[in-house]
Structure 1
Amino acid sequence: MRLATWEAAGVVRSGVVSAAGLHAFPSGTTVLDLVRAGLPAALEAGAAAEREPAVPVAAVRLLPPLEPPTVRDFVTFEKHVEGIAGRVPAEWHEAPTFYFTNPYALIGAHDDVAIPPGSKLFDFELEVAAVAGRDVASATPEQARAAIFGYTVFNDWSARDLQRREMKVNLGPAKGKDSATTLGPWLVTADEFELDRDGFLDLDMRVSVNGAEIGHDRLSGMGWPFEELIAYASRGTWVRAGDVLGSGTCGNGGCLAELWGRRGDGDPPPLQPGDVVEMTVEGIGTIRNRVVPGLELPPVRPARRNERT
């Protein structure tokens, strides 16, 4: 089942996606409500909604499928790490690494995305995200697998110049990552997919800029499956129903920075206003965003020098 959230004529609704279009849930019911209710209840609600009249997808603005409480993003593709850094640190192999990104900066599958203020090296990142369907704490991988509600395409837009500066302070990323994240086009429930014997999803992933393919990989290239990511994120704490957990960027051109690491900055060039980035993940769908100019803000004031002896 595919769950979506959309806006039409100023009204936001959520519902289920069929070949005929979008079928709305009762007014006030959100995708997050159904994620928290659990997959069986969501499937029942979806079956009921499909009996309602359909709205064409082309007639609405798709929003992020849900409003998650938190968004974690991992870095699980070894090829991506090697391309970015030139080598894979030994620490990468020891445990999954993630950061929290901005849940207030989520955009829809076809929304325009603005270049962050002050950035000249704007980039995309092709990922898939899992959505937790129940609250878990210090979960085993088996418990975490049972807690996965579904999956969506995830584009972790990145201001690479801002990111490079702030990570030299051994903290971050912060403003290099929090301007926009695309989720969509919908949330596909976990029962639609088969995992391999090791718990991985083997899905085709592709990204293009202005119609020219830049990257192509398979989701099974992750170093850990999603169940291991959720289990790790829950160690000594909680992962809550509705939390979004990104796979991290795939290899083989899943972002421009990986290619810059192999070829040098500028090949391909950073994203510019007017560029259209399209991502397709097998079994989930396609997101397509146009880059637009961002705000022109005054420069950030540097720190006061500490001249005390």
Structure 2
Amino acid sequence: MRFATFVHDGKPHPGAVTGDHVHPFEHPVELLDLVMEGERFLRGAGERALTRSLPLPLADVRLLPPLQPPTVRDYMTFESHVSGIAQGYGDTVPDEWYKAPAFYFTNPYAVIGAHDDVPVPPGCARFDFELEVAAVIGKAGRDLTPEKARDHILGYTILNDWSARDLQGREMKVKLGPAKGKDTATTLGPWLVTADELEAHRNPEGFLDLALTVQVNGETVGQDRLANMAWTFEEMAAYASRGTWIRPGDVLGSGTCGNGGCLAELWGRNGTFEPPPLAPGDIVTMTVEGIGTISNTVVEGVAPIRLPSARRRG
């Protein structure tokens, strides 16, 4: 099944998606609340919506993020992406990258919908996108094996980890972050596709083999396969649960795909800022086989509020 959250007549609603229509749920409820109750309750609400509510054309609604995640972990699982970024610094993929699926926590308050405008972060001159797929956790777990973790993944959605590369580069020199380089916006959408819908795309190695494409202003700048990940989502979930809890609604981003999944990779390989950083008016469109398409327009942001430099204490 496919589940969306959308605005119609000025009010947010959850619903079940079929074709180019969405069927609103019978009762107003947050999709996250149903996810927390369990997949059976979520599917039951979806089945009732499909049989009892009048469908609305998707063209007549505004898609919100499918759910408001309590946490967002964003990984780096594509070796070609890591290699391209490293090349821009005259470096190679560090040995540590191969040891475990590294991630950072990004801002759950910054999620936006599949077609929302994206403001340039304050003070940013090198704005970038990142094409990713995200798994959504449907059941709490701790110290999971990859085999057990599969039952804890409810479904998948597209994730665009918008990135202020100049801000990111500066703040990471202090050995923390990324922080403000990442937390202005993260697109989730267009909807949540339950895991069973994508099982036919799983290859013998256990990876979901989906085609990934990103375009800027209608021109394709990146293409990859999700199966080029170095770890499966089940392995990522197991690592996330090591020594702690993962809970319903948690989002695990695959990390940026390779072969042009972001501009920074291309900058690293080309040795120039070509293609140029994103600017107001640019439209970034991402399509993932079996899930759908998101498309966001970059708009002017606000100027940064100035802060003093550090007080030196000697």
Paired position in structure 1 for 2:85: 84
Paired position in structure 2 for 1:306: 313
Distance in 2 separating the partners of 1:152 and 1:20: 17
For residues 257-294 of structure 1, give each alpha carbon's deviation from its aligned partner in whole angstroms, at most 9, with x where no partner exists.
Answer: 00000112411100000000000000000000000000
1:19 aligns with 2:24: no
For residues 5-45 of structure 1, give each alpha carbon's deviation from its aligned partner in whole angstroms, at most 9, with x where no partner exists.
Answer: 00122211001001251111123222212222333332222
Which runs of no fewer than 5 residues in structure 1 stay unpaired?
none
Matches within 5 A, 1:182-193: 182-193=187-198
Paired position in structure 2 for 1:55: 56
- 1:244 partner letter: V
Paired position in structure 2 for 1:29: 29
Q: How many angstroms does 1:46 deviate by? A: 1.2
Paired position in structure 1 for 2:70: 69
Distance in 1 separating the partners of 2:29 and 2:313: 54
Distance in 2 separating the partners of 1:300 and 1:276: 32
Of the three residues 237, 242, 250, the one matched with 2:257 is: 250
* TM-score after normalising by structure 2: 0.96
Kindly tell me: are residues 236 and 297 of structure 1, through their superposed partners in 2, closer, same or farther at Cα, counting changes over 3 Å? Answer: same
Contact 1:20–1:54 (CA<8 Å) still a contact in 2?
Answer: no
Distance in 1 separating the partners of 2:27 and 2:40: 20
Distance in 2 separating the partners of 1:108 and 1:288: 9
Paired position in structure 1 for 2:148: 143
- 1:38 partner letter: G
Distance in 2 separating the partners of 1:67 and 1:272: 27
Distance in 1 separating the partners of 2:168 and 2:130: 14
- 1:199 partner letter: G
Paired position in structure 2 for 1:280: 287
Q: How many angstroms does 1:304 deviate by? A: 1.5
Matches within 5 A, 1:282-297: 282-297=289-304
Distance in 1 separating the partners of 2:54 and 2:26: 12
Contact 1:199–1:227 (CA<8 Å) still a contact in 2?
Answer: no
1:222 aligns with 2:223: no
1:233 aligns with 2:234: no
Contact 2:130–2:161 (CA<8 Å) still a contact in 1?
Answer: yes
For residues 237-263 of structure 1, give each alpha carbon's deviation from its aligned partner in whole angstroms, at most 9, with x where no partner exists.
Answer: 000011000000000000000000011
1:108 aligns with 2:113: yes
Distance in 2 separating the partners of 1:102 and 1:69: 9
Distance in 2 separating the partners of 1:19 and 1:253: 30
* TM-score after normalising by structure 1: 0.97
RMSD: 1.0
Q: What SS is found at the alignment partner of 1:168? A: helix
4+ runs of 1 displaced by more than 4 Å? none
- Structure 1 stretch displaced more, 139-148 or 283-292: 139-148
- Structure 1 stretch displaced more, 30-39 or 89-98: 30-39
- 1:122 partner letter: F
- Structure 1 stretch displaced more, 141-150 or 19-28: 19-28
For residues 156-187 of structure 1, give each alpha carbon's deviation from its aligned partner in whole angstroms, at most 9, with x where no partner exists.
Answer: 00000000001010000000000000000000
Q: What SS is found at the alignment partner of 2:312? A: coil
- 1:78 partner letter: E
Among all aligned residue pairs of Structure 1 and Structure 2, give the percentage whose two residues are the same amino acid: 63
1:4 aligns with 2:9: no
For residues 185-221 of structure 1, give each alpha carbon's deviation from its aligned partner in whole angstroms, at most 9, with x where no partner exists.
Answer: 0000001012223221000000000000000000001
Q: What SS is found at the alignment partner of 2:286? A: strand
- 1:131 partner letter: V
